Amino acid sequence: MSAGKNDGGNSSGGRAAILGAIRQSLGRPELNNEAKRDLNEHIAKHRANLVPARGKGEHGAQIKQFREMAEAVSCTVEIVPDEAAVPGVVAEYLRANNLPTQITLAPDEWLAGLDWDSQSLLETKSGAAGIDDLVSVTPAFAAVAETGTLVALSGGGHPTTLNFVPDYHVVALRTSQIVGAYEEVWTRLRKANKQGKGFTMPRNINMITGPSRTADIALTIELGAHGPRSLHIVLIDDESAGETSDRTDGETDGEVGQA
């Protein structure tokens, strides 16, 4: 079958031909039914691979590990007792870094619902980041203790530009969103997709470990080369405060399917 030929929407013939040609070039026979069944079972179970020791442990240790790993890659982390403290912490971060009071918020229902008006000097707007936006504030889907990595999903409630265009990126993260290893992120993502409730798989998944950096010139580390020069994490202790919700993410209530 020639490439691009309209076969009524059924591409299985072309797919089989391509895979057959690859199999033939490798000198492998066609899989028998038992081998196919084993492969399908393996795919369906999503078995985790080897997980490093630092990606394991009880949740309190994972929170501590996440903070240590995030700070090791030049993030700053501030723990707050509840989500109500987030606007004040953001305002203090701007003052401490001598930054303008204009911030661009992710158009996320949870984030927008915080009391930003309590900080009279803050000027907020919502939407995708533009070239003139200096500070963005976003939620996250999850965080990985193993490497101090934030996981952000693209969507109507979290335009990807907010992660990369502004020089200063502030992320509001709940302790309940921290997992030990990357495999757990995919488990949560599959669970959220299966549960539905307006959630759909995103087009982009950004894994962010520290501010942007490069050592292209003279092997000297420069921050902010391809994205934010500063990454500040506001860590909300929602578990001690008893605020843990049934939500699987803080990014959106159903808009992550958009680009």
pLDDT given for residue 201 in this prediction:
85
* Helix segments in 26-108, DSSP class H: 33-45, 59-72, 86-96
Nearest to 65 by CA among 231, 188, 179, 230: 179
Domain spans of the chain, in order of start: 12-45, 57-236
- The answer, yes or no, to whether residue 3 has pLDDT greater than 60, is no
User: pTM to 2 decimals?
Assistant: 0.79
* pLDDT tens by residue, 136-169: 999 999 999 999 999 999 999 999 999 999 999 9
Lowest mean pLDDT among 11-15, 143-147, 229-233, 242-246: 242-246
Residue 110 in tokens: 């949870």
Nearest to 131 by CA among 156, 104, 112: 104
Nearest to 86 by CA among 94, 221, 48: 94
* Fold topology of 57-236: Rossmann fold (3.40.50)
Mean pLDDT of 204-232: 81
- The answer, yes or no, to whether residue 61 has pLDDT greater than 60, is yes
